[in-house]
Amino acid sequence: MPDERDEVPGTGSSAVGDAGGGVSETEIAVHWQEEEYYEPPASFVAQANLTDPQVYERFSLEHFPDYYTEFADLLDWSKRWDTVLDSSNPPFWRWFVGGELNASYNCIDRHLEQAKNKTALYFVPEPEDEPIEAITYQELFVRVNEFAAYLRDGIGMQRGDRVTVHMPMVSQLAVTMLACARLGVIHSVVFGGFSARACADRIVDSGSSVLITMDGYWRDGKWIDHKEKADQAVEMARQDGRAISSVLIWRRNRGSYGSSFGLVEGRDVVVDDVIGQYRGQRVEPEAMRSEDTLFLMYTSGSTGKPKAAQHSTGGYLSYVTAMSKLILDIKPTDVYWCMADIGWITGHSFIVYGPLALGASSIIYEGSPTYPDPGRPWRLAERLDVNIFHTSPTAIRALRKVGAEEPTKYHYNFKLMVTVGEPIEPDVWRWYYNVVGRRNAAVVDTWWQTENGGFLCSTVPALKPMKPGSAGPGVPGIHPVIYDEDGNEVPAGTGKGGNICIRNPWPGSMLGIWGDPDRYVATYYARYCKDPGSKAWRDWPYFAGDGAMLAKDGYFRILGRIDDVINVAGHRLGTKEIEAAALKVAGVAEAAVVAAHDEVKGVVPEVFVTLLPGVVPSEEFGTQVVDSVVREIGPIARPRKVWLVPDLPKTRSGKIMRRVLASISNRGDIGDVTSLANPEIVEQIQGMVQS
């Protein structure tokens, strides 16, 4: 059964690009006007973690990189570092070198003395009649240790091994990640809604020999049989030369196996059946070097194949802990709910690692935010007395669409609300602030990426006023800049867009792209590197791949992706991956994917295809293209529409003009097409699409 969780995603980002060098999301971005400021509520400021206006001075570039010791000092190190930043091999930055620590220890063990009886994780099942489970720090400690003991002694996993994890939103996912971290095993969590094919590609690329999954789960009122994907993914990985020796299956429901796909003898183990043998076992946390890899997180980039951002232990954990404290304002007493999926970076950083490192209570909600009705999130907030709420523009738009008045019916009290993943329209922002937050909560619009570990731009909620639609200045320590195509700085207040870059390295930044150092340098640092031979970090600005504008007040407004990545409901999808899936359908000759504007998801893919000569067009092709995209990537990439066209608009050199197609889909200005090789096709396609 398909996982339809693309319908109302919890969070994620938005864009089009053009593989052929045409339009970018930036160019089609809406031209917003300057917005009014909103001051943070006095009640918020009175209790905030960060109220010292000197912070920006302390974190100025003059004091770089030493200011980041404030972040590292939030953690417990088994051995203190001796070098804050080793930048001797740019752009491969290494933070807190010489230091040793364990992420699982920092997220669990260190809280036991003071707070073992406090809830670490709430698991909220989608069926509302199933009880919510509150897992204390002590209980999390026990579960993580027992599972780590099994991974080590039962499966033979060791420090440095990779494991692929393909699971839904359940507490066992966090237990799995923390058990891996305890052993120094590198986890690669694949979004549960992704297809078997996507899972297999990540198994192969990461070199995993173990896959951890779950029998099934609830989504939108339906039971999803998830184990089938594991069987398929293992087979696909085998064909691609990677053998999975063990598939570990957690059971969603105590005592009953919920999949119609049986166990493969000698390969599959139901975790719940064996874990009893490890009862009471304790695993000493491995002392990891700061620069050891904690996890891999795959993301789409402009050259088709997904790539894994490789995140460090010490730098990453310091960064997400600091961001959770300073920007999300998390305190140990808070109940915090982030609606993102743990299968994305937001969930790693801001459901699991950051909140737990601070000893807060973090919620894992299994299901769809609008199931069984649009009041669900607000009921949940009321019930658990959530005071920090984190979601995406897509989810906000969807919740507003299905129940604009719903929040007023419930008694909850948010002190802070977060948006992440894509630009938020000021109008949507105002509904979030006025109706969801009742003008009583500070809002932070946090701009960042999978590769970054944590936030790059956002207001510090007690120090800077909010401005709808603008993320804000760099967070303390981050020094962004906008460059034009030639590498000149675009000053503040010119109203001109450009490429947003970061002048300095920061601890949350990835170590590299797993197995592909050249791609890491080429994608993020080659664009504006002043001198490839230079050893000075100042010569290596980070290129984010987003367009942005800088207002006079120092606030950045993010316009969207400039590469051929389309940002659907906050999730980056490569247009080339979608086109490749369309081309798998027999009879399809060419495919072009564009980003079409959508009221709820921001942007959705539309596909234009041509057929091979002699192939008779029929409705069938549309269905087959959609099926192929869902099978290859997952429902999240489902095209809204597939257009069968006689030809695609092309330049005289044969490049497909995706920009023209995007303008047709979005009913925008097509511009001058007379120089195309086949201008007549434009009008024909326009007739089909816009009629």
Q: Which residues bind ligand WTA (CB under 6 A)?
A: 12-13, 15, 299, 344-346, 420-423, 445-450, 471, 544, 546, 558, 560-561, 567, 571-572
Cβ neighbours for 494, distance < 8 A, ≥ 6 positions apart: none
Nearer to ligand WTA, 109 or 341 (CB): 341
For residue 136, the minimal CB distance to ligand WTA (Å) is: 30
CA–CA separation, 22 vs 422, rounded Å? 21
For residue 439, the minimal CB distance to ligand WTA (Å) is: 21
For residue 311, the minimal CB distance to ligand WTA (Å) is: 12
Are 672 and 651 a contacting pair, CB within 8 Å? no
Cβ neighbours for 605, distance < 8 A, ≥ 6 positions apart: 566, 568, 573, 575, 578, 593, 594, 595, 596, 629, 637, 638, 639, 640
Please tell me whether residue 322 adopts helix, strand or coil conformation: helix
For residue 546, the minimal CB distance to ligand WTA (Å) is: 5
For residue 600, the minimal CB distance to ligand WTA (Å) is: 16
Residue 348: phi, psi to the nearest 5?
-60, -50
For residue 526, the minimal CB distance to ligand WTA (Å) is: 18
CA–CA separation, 587 vs 590, rounded Å? 10
Nearer to ligand WTA, 15 or 155 (CB): 15
Helix %, strand %, coil % for the chain, to 5? 30, 25, 45
Name the residue among 133, 169, 118 with its Cα closest to residue 339. Answer: 169
For residue 349, the minimal CB distance to ligand WTA (Å) is: 8
CA 95 → CA 71, 286, 585, distances in Å?
11, 19, 47
Neighbours of 70 (CB within 10 A): 16
Give first-to-last CA distance, the chain, whole Å.
35
How many CA atoms lie less than 13 Å away from 12 in the CB half-sphere? 29
CA–CA separation, 559 vs 598, rounded Å? 16
CA–CA separation, 516 vs 457, rounded Å? 27
CA–CA separation, 358 vs 75, rounded Å? 9
Neighbours of 382 (CB within 10 A): 15
Element (H, E) at 320: helix 314-326
Name the residue among 241, 146, 229, 243 with its Cα closest to residue 190. Answer: 229
For residue 507, the minimal CB distance to ligand WTA (Å) is: 17
Nearer to ligand WTA, 24 or 628 (CB): 24
For residue 69, the minimal CB distance to ligand WTA (Å) is: 26
Nearer to ligand WTA, 13 or 87 (CB): 13
Nearer to ligand WTA, 147 or 447 (CB): 447
CA–CA separation, 367 vs 124, rounded Å? 8
Nearer to ligand WTA, 252 or 572 (CB): 572
For residue 25, the minimal CB distance to ligand WTA (Å) is: 7
For residue 6, the minimal CB distance to ligand WTA (Å) is: 14
CA–CA separation, 455 vs 30, rounded Å? 24
Q: Which residue is nearest to ligand WTA (CB)?
A: 13
Nearer to ligand WTA, 29 or 214 (CB): 29
Nearer to ligand WTA, 403 or 437 (CB): 437
For residue 535, the minimal CB distance to ligand WTA (Å) is: 28
Amino acid at 602: G
For residue 596, the minimal CB distance to ligand WTA (Å) is: 17
Name the residue among 200, 197, 451 with its Cα closest to residue 345. Answer: 451
Name the residue among 284, 104, 293, 271 with its Cα closest to residue 172. Answer: 271
Are 463 and 55 a contacting pair, CB within 8 Å? yes
For residue 105, the minimal CB distance to ligand WTA (Å) is: 26
Nearer to ligand WTA, 25 or 286 (CB): 25
For residue 456, the minimal CB distance to ligand WTA (Å) is: 9
CA–CA separation, 434 vs 211, rounded Å? 44
Please tell me whether residue 611 adopts helix, strand or coil conformation: strand
For residue 598, the minimal CB distance to ligand WTA (Å) is: 16
Nearer to ligand WTA, 30 or 612 (CB): 30
Name the residue among 25, 22, 181 with its Cα closest to residue 106. Answer: 181
For residue 40, the minimal CB distance to ligand WTA (Å) is: 18
Which DSSP string do the residues of 531-546 spell out, in sequence order? -TT---GGG--EEEEE
Crossing angle of helices 575-583 and 619-632, rounded to 10°? 130
Name the residue among 233, 235, 237 with its Cα closest to residue 213. Answer: 233
CA–CA separation, 470 vs 444, rounded Å? 10
Are 638 and 4 a contacting pair, CB within 8 Å? no
